[in-house]
Chain A
Amino acid sequence: MSQASRLGITRRRLLIGGGVGAGLAVAWGVWPRHYVHNLVAGEGETVFNAFLKIGEDGNVSVIVPQAEMGQGVWTALPQALADELGADWRTIGVETAPINPLYANDFLVTEGAEGALPSFLGSIGQWATREYAVRNALMITGGSTSIRGFEQRFREAGAAARAVLCKAAAARWDADWQACDTADGFVVLGDQRLRFGELAADAAQYSPPDTLTLRNPEGRPITGQSMPRIDLPSKVDGSARYAGDVRLPEMVFASARQAPSSRHRLTAVNRDAANNVFGVTAIFENPRFAACVATNWWAANRGVEALAPEWESDDEGVVDDASIDAALQVALDGDGGTRFVSEGDLAAAFGTSGAHRATYSVGLAPHAAIEPLTATARVTGDRLEIWAPTQAPGLMRTAVADAIGYSEGQVTIYPMLLGGAFGRKIEHDAAVQVAIIARRMNRPVQLTWSREEETRSDYYRPAARGRLTAKLGAAGAISAWHARIAAPSTGNQLFRRIMPSMFFGGVGDASPGAVEGARPAYAIPNLAVEHMPVDIGVETGIWRSVAHSYTAFFTECFMDEMAAQAGIEPLSFRIAMMGDSSRLARCLTAAATLGGWDGGEQGGGMGLAAHSCFGSHVAMVVRLHIGDGQRPIIENIAAAVDCGRMINPEIVRQQIEGGIVFGMSQALGAAIAYADDEPLVSNFHDLGLPILTDIPQIEIELIDSDEEPGGVGEIAVPPVAPAIGNAIFAATGQRLRSIPFRVGGVA
């Protein structure tokens, strides 16, 4: 099956209009099956393909399978389609996609994310995993893949529709359709023009041609422009609908408390106390959770508090800070690791002396989206409908169906706007719970987790520890580098939860995903990166920028240590070793200029860091001072970003700003402490998240680039912590090797 059939249209080849005239024909695909879109046309609407509908009123509906969680994908992908279609941007609207193999994120599981989802590749191979992704409609928003994975499909969908609109117009004009073009919502030929709305129904009767031509960059007036986000108006007047805003006739509200861990089972609840709560109408006991249903959510949540569920664990071991710490250290000191990067001759290069070694660590980090997990369910006859915020609607459907013994065909998922996700909403805990509850209630049920549940039952970014060893060679460059990192195989834990039918390996199996980003961008002749897998007893999850959030911290702080060893200023030290990383080098020099880099002098309070991930490159310069109570006060952050060709620069800027603030939260927020198998945090007051007054001046330079687009949603997070750490060193002389940072504490 060709790329064409992925659009739900029939054609054979695709030409990309190049400057030299000869386009690139996209190869025939290999899919054994043919998929048809499952869109429904409204009155007066015509479905063109899986990504596009046009109404007779001239309104264009773009179907977006990727979740809008703030990253602007509901605007950027329609921009790509609108340009190929030749639409007037003011006529563009967005609809969410139904579950269909046509919307599978095959990029994520193949070329896009080697390392991020390693087991897909390592054990099965690219072809098979891609086929799995497509056949099972593996719709996932994650890994900063939306533009990289879908821009081309949206362009193709727009170009295919343009061709048939031209054919319909040409038939009316008795002209050659290839002489026609589209612009501003019209098909045009000389002085003649016809609105898309007038042609849509006719046009759908035509087949796209065997060869489709995509527009040259100069023929794309919308791409590259900072169009206002489509979701903006609804997000300033309260009309944007999130899953918790669904209101159905007769609907009731639920709150739930979950087992502290997967090892715990419910043993007792105080039903009498809950029944005495005004408004509570039903109580649910499940081995994994207890819940109350009431006429409003506050009553339901008071009911759950009154239930005071008790749990028992079938495991002797108790998880606490000391056990997590010990597990990481044992793994780091052990020999159970796997070397995923090995270049040159490490032993020879290190010799017997002269190496510098340091151990770095990061703690658990919360997602803390302001929207807690929530889902609404309605059972009608033998059908179940779920409204939920989700980064993976297909997996949610499977999980929900399995939980209540339905077939997937009986379950409909309505993906809603996400009130922040950061990786947490790739999971489906609340949807499964509400399905179980709703099947036994004869009314629709809306389940919302309390902030306390959300905080305690988070799947945190894992704790990790890295031991870095390096040695300087001639001319002050690093000749050997060894990064040994102890961390859980979070990807394996995640997939066990969200795709239980597939086995990807255990938490204690080594995985390149756990050390992603640990290979320095620098030209170092002798190099090794090892993962020491470890079960820390806590279920962990993917978190904005995944393993890069700690590997960049380890690498870029240790680089400063090596620069100090060499007696070379940190910027020059890095630039001298950039080798093939010319894009990152350019970011570094740009950030240094933008941020007024002072050479990292002691007492100056400036630090820098650079990191490449998700196909993009970012460098940052931080300036700070130490305020009252030894608190680092960030004054300025200058970032230079090369993320390739941009569809919407202002949205890119938003993502960089947001990534910086997110990175600040892991560097300067509160640590998540554990005791007696439970986290000791319960609400926002425990997390130390930044607010307006904490935000420094942020300056961003987006570097012009014609390179293929890289990701943008996660790329600004990783360099923040090391840049702050290096700045703290410059301000205080203290090398802090653990985040969250505590100035004056133990390094």
Chain B
Amino acid sequence: MTRMTVNGQPVHYRMDPRTPLLWALRDASNLTGTKYGCGIGMCGACTVNLDGRAVRSCQISIADAEGAFITTIEALSRSRDHPVQQAWIEKMVPQCGYCQSGVIMAVAALIDGNANPSDDEIDEAVTNICRCGTYPRMREAIRLAARVSRGEERLAAAPPPGIDPGDAAAHVAALTPPDEDADDDPGRIVTD
């Protein structure tokens, strides 16, 4: 059996049960935010949340993930507003960005379970490889995210995705306000 809950949706993967979860997520569910880096559980680019733990999805088969609740980077937050994501933007952590989904998932699991991790606990939980060398910023961002999750600090480093053009124009004078008549257009896609 290869049934599980991925980002709140029930799924049944019709694949070889030995298939690593990583490839079911990427190639069957098209959840491509989770990355392949090494396939041996070293680099952590494939880290997802499985039943509340950060796991390397290249190291667990879909058979072994049977019945699990899995969250990928795409569903870490609805509005890109998880404290770790906001801290990552505030400290401008990413460079190439490829490994960052995995790092963020590892850090989010750490902080969700321990809102005041020591440096040693951080080192133990975050063993991902980042070849761009974003580590110094990572550590600062982890500490910031922990403070935010403890309620000691507030952050709104980046706006949510999918801002309505009218709202954007109301805040940025350089943008042309959308034609009012557009609201009456039956073909307009309403997102919420």
Contact = CB atoms under 8 A, between A and B. Distances in A.
Contacts of A87: 174
A235 B141 CA distance: 14
Given A296-B15, A372-B36, A420-B131, A692 B95 contact: no
A421 B131 CA distance: 9
Contact of A451 (B39, B72, B133): B39
Contacts of B63: none
A690 B159 CA distance: 33
Interface residues of B, number: 72
Interface in A634-685: 650, 654, 657-662, 683-685
A684 B40 contact: yes
B30 A239 contact: no
Contact of B135 (A233, A278, A695): A695
A247 B176 contact: no
A691 B124 CA distance: 11
A237 to B, nearest CB: 5
Contacts of A69: 96
Interface of A: 56-59, 68-72, 87-88, 90-91, 184-186, 195-198, 226, 228-229, 231-242, 244-245, 247, 253, 278-279, 295-299, 301, 368-372, 417-422, 448, 450-451, 650, 654, 657-662, 683-685, 689-693, 695, 698
B89 interface: yes
Contacts of B39: 301, 450-451, 683
A233 B161 contact: yes
Contact of A371 (B34, B35, B128): B35
15 contacts: A70-B94, A91-B174, A91-B175, A184-B173, A228-B92, A229-B94, A231-B97, A232-B158, A233-B161, A237-B161, A238-B73, A661-B133, A683-B38, A692-B122, A692-B135
Interface in B131-177: 131-139, 157-159, 161, 165, 169, 172-176
Given A247-B32, A684-B129, A654 B95 contact: yes
A237 B96 contact: no
Contacts of A226: 92
Contact of B89 (A58, A236, A422, A692): A236
Contacts of A185: 172-175
A299 B18 CA distance: 10
A236 B94 contact: yes
In the A-B complex, list the 9 residue pairs whose CB atoms are closest, starting with the nearest: A238-B33, A185-B174, A661-B133, A419-B98, A70-B96, A70-B95, A235-B97, A238-B73, A658-B133
A216 B33 CA distance: 43
B70 interface: no
Interface in B78-123: 80, 85, 88-89, 92-101, 104, 122-123
A71 B76 contact: no
Nearest to A648: B92
Contacts of A417: 96-97
Contacts of B93: 236
A299 B23 CA distance: 9
A703 to B, nearest CB: 20
Contacts, number: 229
Contacts of A297: 23, 26-27, 36
B50 to A, nearest CB: 16
A90 B172 contact: yes
B173 A683 contact: no
Contacts of A690: 133, 135
A387 B35 CA distance: 17
A321 to B, nearest CB: 24
A238 B32 contact: yes
A692 B127 CA distance: 6
Decide if the interface of chain A is mainly helix, strand, loop or mixed.
Answer: loop
Given A228-B89, A685-B40, A58 B131 contact: no
B134 to A, nearest CB: 7
B16 interface: yes
Contacts of A422: 131
A692 B125 CA distance: 10
A370 B132 CA distance: 9
Contact of A683 (B22, B40, B80, B165): B40
Nearest to B158: A233
A237 B74 contact: yes
Contact of B133 (A57, A371, A662, A685): A662
Given A228-B89, A689-B129, 6 more contacts: A238-B34, A242-B98, A417-B97, A420-B132, A661-B133, A690-B135
Contacts of A196: 174
A650 B93 CA distance: 11
B1 interface: no
Interface in B8-45: 15-16, 19-20, 22-24, 26-28, 30-40, 42-43, 45
A10 to B, nearest CB: 27
B43 to A, nearest CB: 6
A519 B11 CA distance: 62
B60 interface: no
A162 B14 CA distance: 57
Contacts of B100: 235-236
Contacts of B68: none
A458 B188 CA distance: 50
A59 B169 CA distance: 10
Nearest to B85: A236
B97 A198 contact: no
Contacts of A244: 32, 35-36
Contacts of B129: 370, 684, 689, 691
Given A245-B32, A370-B35, A657 B134 contact: yes
Nearest to A298: B23
A660 B133 contact: yes
A58 B174 contact: yes
B97 A419 contact: yes
B94 A235 contact: yes
Nearest to B40: A683
A238 B173 contact: no
A57 B161 CA distance: 18
Given A58-B175, A238-B74, A690-B135, A654 B92 contact: yes
Nearest to B32: A245
B54 to A, nearest CB: 14
Nearest to A299: B16
Contacts of B158: 228, 232-233, 236
A133 B52 CA distance: 54
A370 B94 contact: no
B137 A657 contact: yes
Contacts of A369: 96, 98, 131
Most A CB atoms within 10 A — which of B27, B40, B104, B133? B133
Contact of A448 (B24, B36, B74, B131): B36
A658 B134 contact: yes
Contacts of B19: 296, 298-299
Given A236-B100, A661-B133, A184 B174 contact: yes
B142 to A, nearest CB: 9
